[in-house]
Chain A
Amino acid sequence: MHLLPLILYAAATAAYVVHFAWRDPRVGRLATATLGAGVLAHTFLIGMQTVQVGHAPLVGTTAAISAFVWLLGLSYLYVELTTDERAMGLFVAILLVVLYLIPALDPSVSPRPPVLRSPLFTVHVVSMLFAYASFALGAVLGITYVLLFKEIKAKQLGFFYARLPSLQTLDVMNARVVTIGWICLTLGITIGGIWAAQVHQVPDPRVQAMSVLDPKILVALVSWAVYSFAVFARRVGWSGRRAAWLSTVGFAIVLLNFVPVGYFLTKSHNF
């Protein structure tokens, strides 16, 4: 059952590749439908896990990655259906498949320690994941912006020129998702701080490790600084190519924090 979303995400990736290369609208619709089926299967899986353990499966990095993939798939589908723009699907689908490999290899759901039994914890995790999903879309928009920008600037109108929407569209969409992501990130970090302050007397070593110097928290604050700059520097001319680079760099930091730091370095977030 836990492999079904992986198979469907992989199939959707293949369809998006074919659609991107040959621009057949029927294949494009097939890609969207397959991705939709993947997200649906993933929804069922998360639902079953919730029933199985009695709470939302958000404990531990693996579960968080699974939830992140699900949220990203859902957000992307929303963007695609509202803008009718399918060119970004390829990049998003690849990210979904790569990240979903982790929960697909380790489908077990960790039990929830009593200390995490707070609504603040759930709000913290959900807003962080939503922020990360928005930043992932922002990075995809940023990368495609740079690719298209280079083609137009170099007067080599080719592959991306024929497939991507206008620079202006990419930039506006980028601004939107980065702002949404920044709001969620700010909320997530604040709630996380409040929750950590509430439980700081719990004698769990992980709770005791909650400090600004813990790698996971530190890198999260760095990413917050980068995205705060991205949001406010837009007003003074950091739009277009610079904003595109910023959102790409920002998401690289987020991804670094999410996977390697989450698995190997943090002492506070390894539930």
Chain B
Amino acid sequence: MRLLAVGLSHRTAPVELRELVDFARGGLDVALAALAARGVTREAVVLSTCNRAEIYAVSESDAAAGTIGGFFSEYHQIQDGRVAEYLYRLSGSDAARHLFTVAAGLDSLVVGEPQILGQVKAAFSVASDLRYTGALTNRLFHSAFAVGKRVRADTGLGEGAVSVSYAAIALARKIFGDLKGLRVLILGAGEMAKLTGVHLQAQQVREIAIASRTHASAHGLASRLSGRAVAWTDLDAALTAADIVVTATGAAEPVLTRQRVDAIMRPRRGRPLFIIDIAVPRDVESAVGDLDQVFLYNIDDLQTIVKENLARRTTELARAEAIVDEEVAKFSTWMQSREIIPTVVALRERFEAIRQAELRRLEPKLAGLPPEARARVDEITHLIVEKLLLTPTEQLKTVNDDTMAVTYSDALNRLFGLAEEPAAMGVKRQSGAERRVK
């Protein structure tokens, strides 16, 4: 039994190729069924996002990695040579490490982004619902979820907004707390104004008002954002009512002067005003930021925050990697015990079976012996078997490398014919593994 991870990601493959091997497009269930039909995998999970396409599988065949690699091109009907060079093929604890790194957001385009953990969970639940997963993939994915959760909780990796819109929303939250009761005023009706409006709308603000010099375009954007259009002449009243003002007009001169904002601040009675100026050239005089209870951020300020957050995330990498290492070690130990312990048990059972069989075969010759002598024979043969098995058992238990574990298991299976009675052996192996898990 071997754990495999075969796939490609934004780190290895160009976007044109990633688009071609998107498993999610045709449905993960279809892809899983097609993979299962190849007959080499016992368990499988397909993870497919815009940045990666990966198959995690458990197989008994040594050629499985090649078959799964081939599946990428066959399933998507791409010339084989084109995909193969971009694929990584990992096995055992390397495969586990890769999944843990992915789930922690360490392998993402934007390091630490949180969506990937949800995508990994979704990929697993599709495979799990359709019963393509088994003991090994179950354990693997649940460990991966734990890694993602720990990295999120114990490191600052996911902290700090890494896009301008999220930086603005994070700031607004730090000023106002919940954004639900807030009134937003957007000046301008262009593309930037629309984008910011969509982000704020997603925060379920109380009201979005749009003011533009051309009333028609204000109406257009207002209807798209289910907001309210404000006439340019009523701007001061709208400013007084607003908590967050986004300015994105194409005006060459500042729209909000210090004098104007100072005047609208008076009737607000100390209610804070957060002005986000994303226009270039700027719509708001920088002196406006000096007014009490006014927080003014322009596009450059927001971009600086984003840069700082990205830099801070990289310093948290080491802590996140330590968590991944720890969990990989735990998982590997568990996986090896699965490999080795059943082999040890099977080996001992085989030796004992041979001893018993020989004793039965010699029964006519031993029949004449007195009971004490027969007990002696039983004891001596038992001791010989124990002595013969002592060193191999100890050696096997100290194997701490999963490729070695597989090699040993394979060798022992072959040398002693341990897999010859598959039905009986299967039951015993499973019970051995379960004992160990408990």
Contact = CB atoms under 8 A, between A and B. Distances in A.
Q: Do A and B bind each other?
A: yes
B220 to A, nearest CB: 33
A155 B292 contact: no
Interface stretch (A116-124, A195-203, A205-213, A233-241): A233-241
Contacts of A169: 177
B272 interface: yes
A166 B301 contact: no
A157 interface: yes
A111 interface: no
A152 interface: yes
Interface string B276-303: 0000000000000100110101000100
Task: Using C-beta atoms within 8 Å of the partner chain, give the interface range for chain B.
Answer: 20 to 34
B142 interface: no
B205 to A, nearest CB: 14
A82 interface: no
Contact of B301 (A24, A155, A161, A165): A155
Given A236-B269, A241-B293, A157 B177 contact: no
B159 A240 contact: no
B37 interface: no
Contact of B272 (A24, A25, A157, A240): A240
A166 B175 contact: yes
A152 B174 contact: yes
B174 A161 contact: yes
A218 B173 CA distance: 42
Nearest to B295: A152
A12 B268 CA distance: 41
Contacts of B177: 165-169
Interface in B93-107: none
B371 interface: no
A174 to B, nearest CB: 13
A167 B270 contact: no
Given A157-B305, A240-B293, A241-B293, A167 B272 contact: yes
Contacts of B175: 152, 166-168
B298 to A, nearest CB: 9
A242 B308 contact: no
A237 B269 contact: yes
B351 interface: no
Given A24-B154, A237-B270, A238-B270, A153 B174 contact: no
Contacts, number: 50
Given A152-B175, A239-B270, A240-B272, A25 B297 contact: no
A88 B213 CA distance: 47
B171 interface: yes
Contacts of A168: 175-178, 272
Contacts of A23: 156
B293 A157 contact: no
A68 B37 CA distance: 75
A148 interface: yes
B252 interface: no
Interface in B236-255: none
A148 B174 contact: yes
- Residue in B175, B178, B289 with the greatest tally of chain A CB atoms within 10 Å: B175
B48 to A, nearest CB: 34
Nearest to B300: A155
Interface string B395-426: 00000000000000000000000000000000
A162 interface: yes
A24 B175 CA distance: 24
B153 interface: yes
Interface string B142-162: 000000000001101001000
A144 B269 CA distance: 22
Nearest to A148: B174
A153 B295 CA distance: 6
Interface string B162-180: 0000000001011111100
A221 B301 CA distance: 46
Contacts of A148: 174
A155 B289 CA distance: 10
A155, A165, A167, A240, most chain B CB atoms within 10 A: A155
Contacts of B301: 155
A169 B301 CA distance: 24
B269 A166 contact: no
Interface in A130-185: 148, 152-153, 155, 157, 161-162, 165-169
Interface in B76-125: none
Interface in A214-271: 236-242
A237 B304 CA distance: 32
Contacts of A239: 269-271
B153 A166 contact: no
A23 to B, nearest CB: 8
A152 B153 CA distance: 25
Contacts of A240: 270, 272, 293
Contacts of B271: 239
A155 B269 contact: no
A152 B177 CA distance: 14
A110 to B, nearest CB: 46
Nearest to B302: A155
8 contacts: A152-B175, A153-B289, A157-B171, A161-B174, A166-B173, A166-B176, A240-B272, A241-B292
Closest 9 CB pairs of A and B: A237-B269, A237-B270, A166-B177, A168-B177, A239-B270, A168-B176, A169-B177, A155-B301, A167-B175
Given A25-B153, A152-B175, A239-B269, 11 more contacts: A23-B156, A152-B174, A152-B295, A153-B295, A155-B297, A157-B171, A166-B177, A167-B175, A168-B175, A238-B270, A239-B271
